[in-house]
């Protein structure tokens, strides 16, 4: 991609209304632009990142034997009355049609999926079943804040599992824990599996919490990894020695990037979702729910991976792998760009006729992992390679770079 043609430019100043690190850097870098409170446009560069995250999530969910589907955002009011959530789900957006009918705008999809599954599942032979979607969710937050961390419209992966009994549910729950750990590790986050309250549906939940100053949540945890609880349920105090002797428990601010919890038969009972066992006896189906905020994940990565110059994307979700910069009118630049593209490397070429300083500043802000510079000083065929994470650069031939780059994939 040639930067001169890319929709969405970097800007030096961002509105003083954006105070969070993620919104500031993503807006300045040309990844997002706010539409209304808690609602953002994702520009081409930002969409690239989202697509990378979604790909990782899909791979992990698919390998946990879940099937992807897509449910509607505009839902059925009746189903929400059946579960009692029409009046109790306080962040539910309610729309009125010109016919006078009311519709909920989906903040979650149990009310859609459970009746849908009921139409197809009636036998123990159909279980277990796991379904997920990546979809836009709506929550009527009284106060949207923290950039893309708490929006009123956001992209979420929500997965629901269906089981014949508790034992099978437990087995799958552990499997999803693994899948979730994989997702967060792959996107470059160190997420702490944390015990939390179960809210209205269950006795407990598990949250995946990432430590960062800008977080809204607070957890008490042991760095040894054997204990972590949201302070909303924690009965232990900060500083207490953990059971396995890893030192004092710490209290930190965190962002919740994912959560999983048992639904038991809450929704199965509401909609009469049952299956017949081998003996022809009807039993309620046990359910689990598993969520990952895709756009929140993107914001969290920025909150964690940045420096004074801008974003530092992890390789796995960077919008491009290589940021090519030509200094001055270098004839060799076009060929270098084509060679990189032909080698299958995702490259953003800053082909603008602007000063070197401006190009470097923008490259640092955008945060693509590898910067390649070509200039007359270096000569044809020679490039300067610099990692966004490191200060130092080195020169090598483009040919040599392409050899190693292709190995790296």
- Residue 145 binds RNA, judged by CB under 7 A: yes
Closest approach of RNA to the CB of residue 248, in Å: 25
Q: Is 396 left (phi over 0), alpha (psi -120 to 50) or beta?
A: beta
Which stretch, 46-54, 236-244, 275-283, 370-378, contacts RNA (CB under 7 A)?
Answer: 370-378
DSSP secondary structure string, 185-200? HHTT--EEEEEEE-TT
- Quick note: the x/- pattern for RNA over 325-364, rule CB under 7 A, is --xxx-----------------------xxxxxx-xxxxx
Give the residue carrying structure tokens 């209205």: 200
- Residue 199 binds RNA, judged by CB under 7 A: yes
Alpha-carbon span 252 to 260, nearest angstrom = 21
Please name the residues in contact with 308: beta carbons below 8 A apart, sequence gap of 6 or more: none
Closest approach of RNA to the CB of residue 359, in Å: 8
Among 170, 175, 201, 343, binds RNA (CB under 7 A): 201
What is the distance in angstroms between the CA of the first residue and the CA of the last residue of the chain? 18
Closest approach of RNA to the CB of residue 266, in Å: 9
Cα-atom radius of gyration of the chain, to the nearest Å? 24
What is the footprint of RNA within residues 377-406 (CB under 7 A)? 377-378, 384, 386, 393
Residue 401 near residue 383 (C-beta atoms within 8 A): yes
Among 8, 24, 25, 28, binds RNA (CB under 7 A): 28
Alpha-carbon span 378 to 384, nearest angstrom = 8
Among 142, 213, 390, 408, binds RNA (CB under 7 A): 142
- Residue 141 binds RNA, judged by CB under 7 A: yes
- Residue 315 binds RNA, judged by CB under 7 A: no
Among 347, 365, 398, 405, binds RNA (CB under 7 A): 365
Q: Whose CA is closest to 298, among 182, 140, 399, 148?
A: 148
**Quick one: three-class SS letters along 203-247?**
CEEEEEEEECCCCCEEEEECCCCCCEEECCCCCCCCCCECCCCCC
Give the residue carrying structure tokens 């804040």: 145
- Quick note: the x/- pattern for RNA over 46-85, rule CB under 7 A, is ----------------------------------------
Residue numbers at the binding site for RNA (CB under 7 A): 9-20, 28, 34, 36-38, 89-91, 107-108, 141-146, 150, 197-202, 205, 216, 259, 261, 263, 289, 309, 327-329, 353-358, 360-365, 373, 375, 377-378, 384, 386, 393
């Amino acid at each position: 991609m040639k930067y001169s043609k890319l929709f969405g430019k970097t800007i030096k100043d961002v509105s003083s209304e954006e105070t969070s690190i993620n919104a500031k850097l993503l807006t300045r870098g040309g990844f997002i632009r706010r539409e209304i409170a808690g609602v953002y446009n994702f520009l081409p560069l930002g969409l690239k990142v989202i697509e990378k995250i979604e790909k990782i999530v899909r791979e992990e969910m698919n390998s946990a034997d879940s099937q992807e589907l897509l449910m509607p955002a505009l839902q059925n009011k009746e189903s929400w009355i059946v579960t009692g959530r029409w009046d109790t789900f306080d962040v539910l957006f309610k729309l009125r049609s010109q016919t006078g009918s009311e519709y909920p705008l989906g903040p979650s999809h149990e009310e859609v999926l459970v009746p849908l599954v009921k139409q197809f599942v009636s036998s123990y032979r159909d279980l277990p079943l796991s379904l997920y979607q990546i979809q836009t969710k709506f929550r009527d937050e009284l106060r949207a804040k923290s950039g893309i961390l708490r929006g009123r419209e956001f992209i979420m992966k929500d997965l629901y599992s269906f089981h014949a009994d508790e034992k099978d549910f437990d087995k799958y729950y552990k499997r999803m824990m693994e899948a979730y750990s994989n997702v967060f590790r792959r996107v470059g986050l160190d997420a702490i599996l944390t015990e939390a309250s179960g809210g209205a549906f269950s006795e407990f939940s598990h949250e995946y919490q990432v430590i960062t100053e800008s977080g809204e949540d607070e957890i008490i945890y042991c760095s040894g990894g054997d204990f972590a609880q949201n302070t909303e349920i924690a009965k232990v105090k900060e500083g207490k020695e953990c059971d396995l002797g890893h030192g004092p428990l710490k209290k930190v601010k965190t962002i919740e990037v994912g959560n999983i919890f048992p639904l038991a038969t809450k929704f199965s009972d509401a909609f009469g979702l049952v299956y017949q066992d081998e003996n022809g006896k009807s039993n309620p189906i046990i359910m689990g729910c598993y969520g990952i905020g895709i756009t929140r994940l993107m914001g969290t990565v920025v909150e964690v991976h940045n420096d004074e110059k801008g974003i530092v994307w992890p390789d796995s979700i960077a919008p491009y792998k290589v940021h090519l910069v030509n200094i001055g009118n270098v004839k060799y630049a076009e060929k270098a760009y084509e060679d990189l593209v032909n080698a299958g490397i995702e490259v953003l070429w800053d082909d603008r006729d602007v000063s070197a300083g401006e190009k470097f500043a923008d490259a640092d802000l955008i945060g693509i992992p590898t910067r390649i510079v070509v200039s007359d000083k270096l000569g044809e065929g020679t490039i300067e390679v610099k990692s966004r994470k490191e200060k130092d650069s080195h020169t090598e031939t483009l040919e040599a770079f392409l050899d190693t780059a292709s190995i790296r994939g």
